[in-house]
Structure 1
Amino acid sequence: MSAPGIVFPFLELLAPQEGDRILEIGTGSGWTTAMLSWAAGPDGITSIEVDERVATQAADNLRAAGYRPNLRIGNGVKGRPRDAPFDRVHVTAGVSHIPMAWIEQTRPGGVIVLPWHAGGLLGHRLRLTVVDGTTAFGRFHGTASYMMLREQRYNSRWSAHHHEEATHSTTRINPRTFWSMEPGAHLMCLALAPRIGWYDTSEDDENSLLLYELDDHTGQGSWAACDHKPGAADAEVAQYGGRRLWDELSSAYLQWASLGSPGYDRFGITVDPTGVHLWLDRPTALTWKVEL
């Protein structure tokens, strides 16, 4: 179960009301299901859990708390069309691809809240408002890192295979720039440098960033490494594969900077049948399609 301090911001964004029909993706221990039952009434709550053992324990916990919502075992990605339409959808696992089924099963004007993990370890707290059966618009309300939906988990990792064939260059960008960059910059990187994971392995005498393809399940995908020693003018870059991951990531970051380093609150996304589109300020302004 996620800590209350992580859960409550999502529940506040969901803003459940008495009588709402709510779909919850991921019952877990049943704690948030009980909160939703208390706020909206258990008769309107449908909660789906993929793990039968977890679902059984959740049912026991909810009965002990005096609630009997509609609990189902299954794949929450498909939603629950039999109980639709819903006023609210509450997602308790990280999501990269936002299923169209959730939008289709939500009333126009209804709300979907979820941790959006389009790439890497950092997730974003996203609130979507549905406008019709195929389209939703939303903005970001802070960062939130959750365990991913089972079928959307990344199993790739960094591996410096074919290192003798890597290309080498230098950069004036310090790799530590990407350790804790602003969330707005992270969103730009998700859109312009898609499906790239990175993490730092820095030590006292060197700043290092390792990059890899998130959707590589073979261990033979593109990789990059950027290393900077304190006091050096340049950092050393090694890259291998069909994609130049460092070039993509650093270019995305610099494009964010060239736009005036826009803050987190200026970004939003549109989800429609053509995909996910990140936009700056408003949906009709500057947009980038996010390749998931």
Structure 2
Amino acid sequence: MADSSPYADDLRLAHVLADQVERITMARFQAADLVVESKPDLTPVSDADRSCEEAIRAQLARSRGRDAVLGEEFGSSGNSQRRWIIDPIDGTKNYVRGVPVWATLIGLVDGEDCVVGLVSAPALGRRWWAAKGAGAWTGRSLAQAKQIHVSRVSQVADASLSYSSLDGWRGLGRARNFLNLTSDLWRTRAYGDFWSYMLVAEGAVDLAAEPELELYDMAALVAIVEEAGGRFTSLDGAPGPWGGNALASNGLLHDEILRRLAPDA
């Protein structure tokens, strides 16, 4: 499993980080004294977000002191081609309202290559992970896991799409094409955030797309989707998490969906 990857030790460390953070996030989830503030972009941040990222950074400083770190709450530190990219709580709006669909995202990028990804969603009782060359897995630990694979659906009329919301598609020249696509699909659901992409990796849905994302929203997801046999690009088709938006698929549908979601001329 993980030992077949040159990044096996990094994946084990990601599990250690997730174990530490789960104790923080679950202790503060639905806490009556949870402190929630608005960031300059008017998105919410809780004391749990900051505590989680601080804990991850402290462990990485001890275990991977030469690696760089990028996190949602405290920005970038270090200068290395190896960079840990962290979203302490993806789905903060859910977290602060008591909705259990949120997760800690831990990714490792080596150069431009997403080589490790771990998604920890303890309120759902789920964890997903992958290391380059070792497949994608879900379970509670490395010792208790099953391998996951994307679906084999090859026709748009048979495909299921998950997204986050309609708001981001407006004003980008893609809204009409997105709505037209949803009419041609078998099923659409807004499971949202990390979960859409993990469902693609598991083969439960066939497509996930979002028009506006940050690097820390995506970096941990890429290795999991790709190691499950899928494809992860920007909406313009650039591989990986570098384009500011995302399309993940089982691979069979990818090129057609890129074409269908291209901006209006």
Shared fold, TM over 0.5: no
Higher relative contact order (CA 8 A, sep 6+): 2
Larger helix proportion of the pair:
2
